[in-house]
Amino acid sequence: MKILIVDDDQDLSMIIADMLEDQGHEALHVTNLEETYELLEREKVALILLDINLPDGTGFELCEELRRVSEVPVIFVSARTSEDDKIIGLDMGGDDYLAKPFSLKELMSRINSLLRRTYGYGNASKVRELQAGEDNRILIDESSRTVTRNGEQVSLSPMEYDLLLYLTKHAGIALPKEKILNEVWGAFSQVEPSTLTVHIRWLRTKLEKDVSNPELIKTVWGVGYMLQGESNL
């Protein structure tokens, strides 16, 4: 998974990046808020390690802005150890707070725990079942990232799969187009809304019995889209 380190301490960031890469993750590193916003416009990350004291602002500002558009997990990693700072960080939407100095083992443990809670990372295979009308049974296997429809595998692009899984995890909720774009393509992404429309059409073509009358992925006029009919195995 792709993990972003936002910290102006270059030496510590390199040590953390080496640890993450040893564990099979891809580590990205930026040193200030400007670089972070620029990176998040073009990259989708699975988790952010966020320092509070940055050269051009604070991690609190970034977390607050992120929570307007994204649910990406955030762990504050900071030399600020007061109870007030921890409360502010968590209240602003941080998922965890680790004070410097810390052990790399503890940091990795917290990262793995948060990834498991958010994505099911490291858990046993999870299969989701979607019933999209009569005689239209869809299974999503998260471990292999495969989708079958009535027993036959459906060929989906990586982005089509990510979009379908995101809609499935939020089944029954009317999701605004902007929120879907931010969560699937990445926070602050510059993807046009028409890109989402095209991917929805492709998914419907592959998964719906009648594309002109979709039963799985519904359009919520004036809002966005909603997936119906999820049940987990």
The confidence score (pLDDT) of residue 230 equals 53
List CB contacts of 209: < 8 A, sequence separation 6 or more. 132, 133, 135, 136, 215
pLDDT at res. 142 = 87
The one-letter amino acid at 164: L
Looking up tokens 């921890």 gives 86
Q: How would you classify residue 121: left for phi > 0, otherwise alpha for psi between -120 and 50, otherwise beta?
A: beta
Q: In the prediction, which pLDDT does 123 show?
A: 54
Q: What is the DSSP letter of 124?
A: P
| Collapsed DSSP state (helix, strand, coil) of residue 27 | strand
pLDDT at 118: 86
Collapsed DSSP state (helix, strand, coil) of residue 62: helix
pLDDT, residue 88, reads 94
Residue-level length of the chain: 233
Q: What is the pLDDT of residue 133?
A: 74
Question: Which helix (DSSP H) or strand (DSSP E) does residue 115 occupy?
Answer: helix 104-119
Element (H, E) at 197: helix 193-207
One digit per residue, the tens of pLDDT, for the chain of length 233 reads: 899 999 999 999 999 999 999 999 999 999 999 999 999 998 999 999 999 999 999 999 999 999 998 999 999 999 999 999 999 999 999 999 999 999 999 999 999 999 988 887 655 568 889 887 778 889 999 888 899 999 999 999 999 999 999 999 999 999 999 999 999 999 888 889 999 999 999 999 999 999 999 999 999 999 999 998 655 54
69 phi and psi, to 5 degrees?
Answer: -130, -10
158: nearest Cα among 171, 140, 146: 146
Task: From 95, 129, 98, select the one nearest 115 (Cα to Cα).
Answer: 95
Query: Which domains, ranges and CATH numbers included, belong to the chain?
Result: 2-119 (3.40.50.2300), 127-232 (1.10.10.10)
Q: What would the two tokens of residue 44 be? A: 């989708």
